[in-house]
Amino acid sequence: MTEASFDAPVEIGAEDYFETAEPLVSDVREATHDFEVMVETHESPAILKSSEAEEVAAKPQKHLGANGSSSKGALAIVLILMTLFAQGHGALQQGFYKGKCGRKNVEQVIYNAVRAKFRKDHTLVAAFLRMQFHDCFVRGCEASLLLDGPNSEKTAGANGSVRGFEIIDSVKAVLEKLCPGVVSCADIIVIATRVTVFLAGGRWYQVQTGRRDGLISRASDVNLPGPTIPVSDAVQLFNNKGFTAEEMVLLLGGHTVGVTHCSFVTDRLYDFQNTGRADQSMSPSLLASLRKTCPLNSPTDSPIALDQNPRSVNTVDNSFYKQIVARRGVLQIDQQLALDSQTKAIVQNLANATDFGTRFGRAMAKLSTVGVLTGNQGEIRRSCRSVN
């Protein structure tokens, strides 16, 4: 984890899995063929009318497994229908891109491209959850995080471990060939994140589109909370952005995927708050395990899964809450969620919930509306890395 952010999952595995835009076009063609097959086997998600989506979301379903195969999901209509039902909320709306990219379905193109990448790297769900949070929580969901520059948001310490930019670039390049100047980088982030959440076992949730891209990106604007922030301060921070305490706990449930590093938990293991002993809120078994992974004064900053259930490291589910209830939270803020009077009951509820996927999706959809630019605000960038 970088200096100062507990907000969304941090992960490793940033090997060179990126490709240029040209190979991605091939990926899209291949994935489109897969999509056509899925239409007949009822394996792909669809954006439905809200009443239909709620009915589908209430049914149990299976998702793509580690080998990329899919199973019987109830989200079964066709991605071709993704934008048929335009339901507006303010300046954003579902189906914003319908008819704006010729006969191409913009959200289907993004789904197919991201799915092709996810097959090769399942840690992308943590990468994109982190990217969306870091973008939306600073200036709003307007892709300022993607801009390059000597003092842009990318250069801030809290953004040092954000990755996936090359995938956004590749998707943007494909869309620029299909319909130049139409699809915003901000919308690509939101749609791509939703795709990875679904592919990693989460529920398919509705997102509205029509965001425009920001023109400003300053490292000095990045002020994300750190892993030791008190729960009361975190609740206030999220409240200032329009979120309830429950929605905050749901968004921090993104820690069900991804990793942090030893440097961010060493104090909890050896000298918590200068007491000369470990954090007493950590279970003895987790303490013993983490001390083996993170020996005192080790030169290696090893990764640690934020969800200590090894069967759930890259799966979007409620396992994270079960772990922190059992005092197996890795980050201080995560563990305190299960102990603080403001959030303890919420955590207990989510640990036993059967509808976490639906509730997490709603929280993510709400996050995607923070500080958006619409109408004539901002621009549609030709490249996500620079203003026009």
Q: Give, in degrees to the nearest 5, the angle at Cα 124 between 316 and 46.
A: 65
Residue partners of 34: CB distance under 8 A and separation at least 6: 112, 115
Kindly name the residue from 33, 42, 122, 134 that is annotated as catalytic: 134
In 3D space, the residue among 71, 2, 5 whose CA is nearest the CA of residue 223 turns out to be 5
**307 known ligand binder:** yes
Helix-then-strand count for the chain, H and E: 14, 4
- Two tokens at 11? 């992960």
**209 known ligand binder:** no
3-state secondary structure of 297: coil
Q: Is 63 an active-site residue?
A: no
**135 known ligand binder:** yes
Look up tokens 């934008």; give the residue. 83
3-state secondary structure of 339: coil
Do residues 4 and 162 make contact, with C-beta atoms less than 8 angstroms apart?
no
**153 known ligand binder:** yes
Determine the Cα–Cα distance for residues 193 and 191; give it in Å rounded to an integer: 5
Do residues 260 and 304 make contact, with C-beta atoms less than 8 angstroms apart?
yes
**140 known ligand binder:** yes
H/E element, 93:
strand 92-93
| The total number of residues written for the chain in this structure | 388
Other CB atoms within a 10 A radius of the CB of residue 159 amount to 23
**122 known ligand binder:** no
Residue partners of 240: CB distance under 8 A and separation at least 6: none
3-state secondary structure of 213: strand
**7 known ligand binder:** no
Do residues 24 and 174 make contact, with C-beta atoms less than 8 angstroms apart?
yes
**9 known ligand binder:** no
**138 known ligand binder:** yes
Per-residue exposure over 21-45, b if at least 16 CB sit within 10 Å of its own CB, e if not: beebbebbeebbebbeebeeeebbb
Determine the Cα–Cα distance for residues 24 and 44; give it in Å rounded to an integer: 20
Bridge partners of residue 303, in order along the sequence? 261
**317 known ligand binder:** yes
Residues annotated in a binding site: 135, 138, 140, 144, 153, 225, 255-256, 307, 317
Residues annotated in a binding site for Ca(2+): 135, 138, 140, 144, 153, 256, 307, 317
> Mind telling me the catalytic residues?
134
Residues annotated in a binding site for substrate: 225
Residues annotated in a binding site for heme b: 255
